[in-house]
């Protein structure tokens, strides 16, 4: 097993120039985040206030079967609402009342803004306050924006969690406690909970919790680890309530997971010997799982289009643990503070870009002819038709990829399209 390479300040791409681009974009909107959030918070419901297009997008992204009864829906804004012929607030009250009568198990209701509701200036914050007062304490009603006008699709989760933070209870004291922030698959959450327990970190909570009544409390003693790199607003809201972020790379691959766990271990006084003993089995399993993928991925060239904000941690994982060459790493938004540890681990000279100018990025990608392109769904088929091999970036968000046990699964998401291409060529 290869050793974990220590992070050194000023190394890698910490001070590297970043190409900033503003132009045509190709991204999903923040409504897409509902697809994984509604599975995570098991007694929450997400009511999108939007158009039929919004409804079709979510239905298509979720792959909802005809007999399924999911915990999301769309309150359709029709011509009367858009023309001001109907009182949209009254209509919304009627829809919510009918929904809660039909689904009494709901304990947390999110009113999710969309492009149409924001264009007509529908005040969902006021509606949430009014409805929460009407239906509390049985149901809390919150709101956030999932509009795609100025956001990328992962920012829907950030907006949702940021809306939850002001509602978190205040802890009874300032005793040290760890909060893991970001929606994780239940299996991944359980794995991390076991690791923290074995490390002796007793008070650990996750945001979001699986049930509305189990959302974590917060105090000045709360330290939090971000599990996702796209939670800037949530982190800011937590810090405003006195919590402190633990700086760390993100838990992708063996190296990222080890450094992420070590940040918590150092903050809570875990000895080096205990940390080594607890993490060694997971590191060894991850190393074995990655070895066979390195045979295919080693030396391959990859190009990241900006889409999910996962691009820089993924690039670090691919470069350092699978020996992939980074042609260009584009990301919708580069938060230098939250990504400082990741940037330090990237190879010097990595081409970084922030934002999107689609035509210029397509030109650079076509000129480079990389072995693999990570991009959104809208670009994948046209690039495949041009002979380039692609990986859908949205799959990297939907799939459990964090932690030691998922390191091999994460690598396989990149080897699979290369193997598919080989079979097609054969």
CA dist 356 → 26, 128, 315, 391 (Å)? 8, 34, 18, 18
Q: Is 375 annotated as a binding residue?
A: no
Q: In the 3-class helix/strand/coil scheme, how is 92-137 assigned residue by residue?
A: HHHHHHHHHHHCCCCCEEEEEECHHHHHCCCCHHHHHHHHHHHHCC
In 3D, which of 65, 57, 56, 64 has the Cα closest to residue 30?
57
Q: Is the peptide bond before 153 cis (omega within 30 degrees of 0)?
A: no
**Residue 382 β-bridge partners:** none
Q: By the 8 A CB rule, do 156 and 34 touch?
A: yes
Radius of gyration of the chain (CA): 22
In 3D, which of 305, 233, 303, 228 has the Cα closest to residue 28?
305
CA–CA–CA angle 340, 350, 293 (5° rounding): 95
Q: Which residue has the tokens 């997008």?
A: 57
Other Cβ atoms less than 10 A from the Cβ of 56: the count is 11
Q: Is 29 annotated as a binding residue?
A: yes
Q: Is 54 annotated as a binding residue?
A: yes
Task: Cite the annotated binding site by residue number.
Answer: 29, 54, 115
Task: Cite the annotated binding site for [4Fe-4S] cluster by residue number.
Answer: 29, 54, 115
């Amino acid at each position: 097993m290869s050793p974990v390479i220590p992070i050194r300040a000023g190394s890698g791409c910490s001070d590297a120039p970043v190409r900033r681009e503003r132009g045509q974009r190709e991204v999903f909107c923040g409504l897409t985040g509902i697809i994984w959030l509604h599975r995570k918070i098991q007694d929450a419901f997400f009511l999108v206030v939007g158009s039929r297009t919004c409804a079709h997008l979510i239905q298509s992204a979720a792959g909802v079967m005809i007999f399924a009864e999911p915990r999301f829906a769309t309150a359709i804004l029709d011509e009367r609402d858009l023309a001001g012929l109907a009182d949209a607030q009254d209509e919304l009250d009627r829809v919510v009342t009918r929904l809660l009568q039909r689904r009494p198990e709901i304990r947390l209701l999110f009113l999710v803004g969309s492009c149409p509701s924001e264009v007509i200036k529908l005040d969902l914050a006021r509606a949430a306050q009014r409805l929460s007062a009407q239906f509390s304490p049985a149901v809390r009603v919150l709101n956030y924006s999932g509009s795609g006008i100025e956001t990328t699709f992962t920012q829907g989760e950030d907006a949702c969690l940021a809306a939850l933070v002001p509602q978190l209870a205040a802890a009874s004291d300032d005793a040290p406690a760890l909060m893991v922030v970001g929606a994780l698959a239940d299996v991944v959450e359980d794995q991390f909970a076991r690791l923290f327990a074995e490390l002796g970190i007793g008070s650990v909570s996750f945001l979001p919790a699986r049930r509305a009544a189990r959302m974590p409390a917060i105090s000045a003693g709360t330290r939090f680890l971000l599990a996702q790199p796209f939670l800037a607003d949530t982190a800011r809201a937590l810090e405003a309530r006195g919590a402190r972020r633990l700086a760390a790379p993100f838990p992708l691959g063996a190296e990222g997971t080890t450094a992420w766990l070590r940040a918590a271990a150092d903050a809570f006084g875990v000895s080096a010997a205990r940390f080594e003993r607890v993490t060694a089995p997971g590191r060894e399993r991850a190393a074995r799982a990655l070895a066979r993928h390195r045979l295919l991925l080693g030396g391959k060239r990859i190009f990241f289009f900006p889409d999910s904000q996962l691009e820089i941690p993924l690039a670090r994982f691919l470069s350092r643990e699978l020996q992939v060459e980074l042609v260009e790493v584009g990301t919708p938004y580069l938060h230098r503070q939250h990504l400082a540890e990741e940037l330090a681990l990237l190879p010097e000279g990595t081409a970084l870009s922030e934002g999107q100018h689609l035509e210029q990025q397509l030109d650079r990608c076509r000129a480079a002819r990389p072995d693999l392109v990570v991009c959104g769904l809208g670009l994948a088929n046209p690039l495949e038709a041009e002979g380039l091999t692609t990986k859908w970036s949205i799959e990297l968000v939907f799939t459990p990829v964090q932690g030691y046990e998922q390191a091999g699964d994460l690598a396989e998401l990149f080897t699979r399209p290369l193997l598919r291409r080989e079979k097609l060529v054969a």
